[in-house]
Each structure stands twice: as structure tokens, then as C-alpha cells.
Structure 1
Amino acid sequence: MRDGSGRWGLGLAALAAVAIPFAVIAALDPRIGWLRPRPASETVQAPPSRLPDRSPAEATSAPRPEARSETRSESWPPAPERPCPVCAAADAPAPLRGALPDPDIQIPDVSAERAAQRERLIGWTAHPDRVSGSAAALDLIGLVFTAPRDPGTGYRPLAIDLAGAPDRAVVVVTEQPLRLALTSLPPDRAGALGVEASAAFGLADGRSGLLAGFRALPYGAAAVAPVLDPSRFGPGTLRDFCAALRLWAVQFGLPVGRTRYTLIENPTQIALAGEAVHTDGTARGRVSGRRLARLCRA
């Protein structure tokens, strides 16, 4: 109803305030059922689609969709492989520039020959217990060769005679191949000769127990003594020489003061008579005893 001004009165507002709570209760109360879930029997189902009638044999022989898709995929040609746009190409080998990759001087393979030589020399080396104490003094003899060897010969021949000095032993230090012959007293003396070499060497008349030992680069030694020569004397040369001198002194069981060093040029024969040294070469110098010991302590 309207009042005199043409507007609804308070009656409409009161009616709305009473009706709204009843509407909410009716919507939420399951007994009324406006929003309750419907049972399955009340759900409307679509009529099933009709399929063409087929015999049981046709139904059994008909391929399944998965099988048909597999058959088609097997008959299709494989997809071509596409290049990988982000894969790095394999590094090409570096071209040779006319030089061998090995910086060493190229020589024939003589490893088998060296191994056989080493085994033969070890068979001619005395037991270390027979070497220690077998001499009263030790001579290290450095060899310098300035003349070419005779044409057609292999190793340089060098004869060493210790018959006149049965209480002395000799270690030759060489940088060229040698063929050594030894004369001793008694003839079967053990451990009278040692060799320190940066080149190969052999024995003219090898026998068991002749050598006191050897160190040679071709036969596997890691380092050997250089020939101590005044023309190329230096701290490194002296250090390496003195290290080898100490090794040989220990091998013979002698102090360094009982050793002697002699430098000889182009010899083919060396003979010891007591403390004297005779040779067909040229003696270039000698250091012995305490002087040599002081030199190696410096």
C-alpha cells in the first residue's frame, strides 16, 4: 500500500523481512529437497545408440582399434632423421705439418736387442756380497774419444789389464759404445770391473762374476755419471759425477777417500801397475784421495 506521497509503506518492508528467512530454510533443508541430490533412478539417461547387427564371427574377427593403429604404424616408412641443430661437430684431427709428433731422433727399434744384451751382462755380474771388500782402492777412469773409430768396426775396443794391481778395481765412465776385455789376477777374479755408460757396451770374453755391476742408459738406467772433463766442468756435471762416485764406493765397501779419478783421451789399452796407470792414450788429469773427497763435498 502506498501512503499519501505515492511510496510503499512500511508494510512491504516488514513482509520482505519475514519472507527471506523462510526462503533460505527451504533451500537448505534436505526434507524439502530443492537442492538435495537426485537418486540414480530419477536421472534421465540418453537412449543407447543402435549398432548394426553383426554375427559372432564378425565380432571376433574384427580388429580392435589399437591393433589397427599398430598395423598402420608398422607399414608406414620410418621418419627420416633430422640433423641436431645444437650438437657440436666432432673435432677433426690436426693436420700433420711435415714433422713427426715424436721430438726424439728417430732410430730403429732396438729394444729387443737391448733387453737381450742386458740379460747377458747381468749373467756376467758378480753377487754383490762378492764385490764388497774385494778391492783396497777404486779407480774411476773417464774416457774421452776425439778420433773416429776404425771403419767397419762396431764398438770401440778397450783392453784393461789389472794383473799388476790385484788389489785395485776399475770403473770405466764412457759416452761411446765399448767392447771391453779384462785381464786380472787371478783370472777368475770376481767383481774387478764396473761400467758407467750413456752408450751400450759389451764384453769381449764374458764370464760369470766378471762385472762388479753396471749402469747404462741403453739398459734401463735412469741416470748415469757424465765424464768429468775440465772443458765442460760445471756444478751439474760435478754433482752427478759425485753421486755416481758415492754409489760405486758403497758398492765396493770403500770410503770416498780410497777412490781415484783419471781422465784419458782415445785409449785402446789401459794397464794398472800398483798405483801407476799406463795407457796408449793421452792422460788428461787425475784427482785422488782427499782432494777428490773434498771436491765432492763442495
Structure 2
Amino acid sequence: MRDGSGHLRLGLAALGAVAIPFAVIAALDPRIGLLRPRPAQDASNGAVRETVPGSIPVPARLPDRPASDEGPAPDRPCPVCAGAPVGPPIRGTLQDPDIQIPDVAAERRAQRERLIGWTAHPDRVSGSAAALDLVGLVFTVPREPGAGYRPLAVDLAGAPDRAVVLVAEQPLSVALTTAPPDRAGALGLESSAAFALAEGRPDRLAGFRALPYGAPEVAPVLDPLRFGPATLRAFCASLRLWAVQFGLPAARTRYTLIENPTRIALAGEAVHTDGTPRGRVAGRRLARLCRT
């Protein structure tokens, strides 16, 4: 037989069975936060820091370290200390790929300015010749001891309708003869060495390209003994430049290779020299050669 107290105990047990799960959820759910920790108080300034659930707690600020007169450890150099001032490098202590020579910059500037003063206006050069001869010069004998630039006489009096461009690799002193004597822009030079005119006057030159006078590159002498794609490409590029300078198509150009000359004379289409002719290519053959 059950009395009233038994019914009361059963009711309390049923109520507890239902309430316990809700109590666990309320205690563990961070959105409700019954067990959320109280905000910590910073002992240094009394500020309250709240711990956010799921984040890493930030420790209180450490007290400032007292200043110390000790510098960095010997094995740990100061990363921000300024080093000793670096002076200019001592010449000769660094690698220099160039061959060392005396300073001739001022001399080269003076030579270039003088040659520019003897160069004709490009409008006077274009159309001044009906054909263009490029002459490659090869020297296989040494100059005489104490001699300066190699002397070379170029006579165009017998070919008033032709112009000449000398392609050289050694210093030259060129004496030019033309008909009429005041003919403008009959001679051009392309050289990896310096050159000079034996008798300079205004309008004497059609132009020049020379490494000592500031040209970044020049054509090599086209020689069967050192013929190759790079040599041909550089030569043909120069040929086109000079053809444009004289206002001529490539088919109106001719190339002649001469060894050890001191005199070159043109008579019509003939070339006379005291040197040794080593080859010639002209007209369409030369144009086709430069298209390959």
C-alpha cells in the first residue's frame, strides 16, 4: 500500500530526470555561460580583461625592463648599428675585363669633333652617287717602326659617279682625291680603330662609324677565312645602313676585299690597287647573300 509520501518521491524523481539534461546543457553551452570564467583583473593597472571563449588568453603586460649599459653580445652583432663608411674601391683590387690602356678619352673626343666638322649634311649625301663600293682592308704586314696611322690614298677622280666606304680594323690616314675637288660626301669609313684624313675640309665625308668615336658596333671585314653567320649578319646590317645613307638599293652596291693596300683608284667600274685583291661580290649576288 502506497501512502502520499510515496507519490511525492516518485514525482520528485521524475522531475529530476527531466531537469538534469537541461542543467548540463546550460552549464556547458558557451552561449548561456553559466560556467563562463569571470574577467581577470590586471594587477598593474586594475584594468579588467575579458577572456573570449575559443581564443588564446593574452597574458598581462610585463613590466618594463630596466635600462642596461651592456651592449649586445660579442657573437651577436647589432642589427641596426651603422657600419663604418665605405670609401671608393681601390683601383686594381676589382676584376676589370678591359685591357688597360692610357686615358685617350679627350683625344678621341677632339678627333670626333674634327671629323664631324668635315662630314657633309646627309641631304647632300643621298643621291650623290649612282653606285657604292664597300672596300674591306686586310693588313698582314706590320707597320714600320715609329710610323703612325697607315697611309692610304683613295683616288675617285676616274669614277665621279661612285662613292666608297672603307671597312678597316687598323688606324688609317686617308688621302682622298675627287673630281671635282670639292665633291661632297664621296667617302665613308667604318672601322674598329681610329682614323684621320690627311687633308680635311668641310663636306669631305659622307659619314663614319668607328668604335673609338662612340659607335656601339661596327661591321667586321668580310673575309673568307673568318666567314660565318654572325660576321655576315653584322656586315649586311652595315651595308644596308650605308645604302640608305646614299639613297641606293642594295643591288647598286659592291664589296671588294684587298690585302695590304697603300693606294686604291677607281676608273669607272674597274678597281686598281697596289695591294692584293682577295675577292669581290656585287649587285644581285651581294643582295641575295644578305638575304640568306
TM-score (norm 2): 0.71
The match for 1:219 among 194, 213, 222 is 213
- The match for 1:23 is none
- The match for 1:144 is 138
Local SS of the residue matching 1:297? coil
Cα 1:185/1:101, change in 2 over 3 Å: same
Number of aligned pairs? 218
Letter in 2 for 1:84: P
Deviation at 1:80, TM superposition (A): 11
Local SS of the residue matching 1:196? strand
The match for 2:148 among 151, 154, 162 is 154
RMSD: 2.1
- The match for 2:112 is 118
Letter in 2 for 1:146: T
- The match for 1:246 is 240
- Residue identity over aligned pairs, in percent, reads 78
Note the 1:1-298 alignment, pairs <5 A. Answer: 82-85=70-73, 86=76, 87=78, 100-298=94-292
Cα 1:103/1:210, change in 2 over 3 Å: same
- State the distance in 2 between where 1:233 and 1:148 align: 23
- State the distance in 1 between where 2:140 and 2:246 align: 31
- State the distance in 2 between where 1:257 and 1:210 align: 25
Structure with max Cα Rg: 1
Q: Which has the higher helix share?
A: 1
1:139-159 Cα offsets, whole Å, 9 max, x none, are: 000000100011111111100
- State the distance in 1 between where 2:261 and 2:95 align: 40
Local SS of the residue matching 2:290? helix
**Unaligned 5+ runs, structure 2:** 1-66
- State the distance in 1 between where 2:145 and 2:94 align: 31
Cα 1:121/1:84, change in 2 over 3 Å: same
1:131-174 Cα offsets, whole Å, 9 max, x none, are: 00000000000000100011111111100000000000000000
1:174-228 Cα offsets, whole Å, 9 max, x none, are: 0111001100000010000000000100000000000000000010001110000
TM-score (norm 1): 0.70
Letter in 1 for 2:164: V
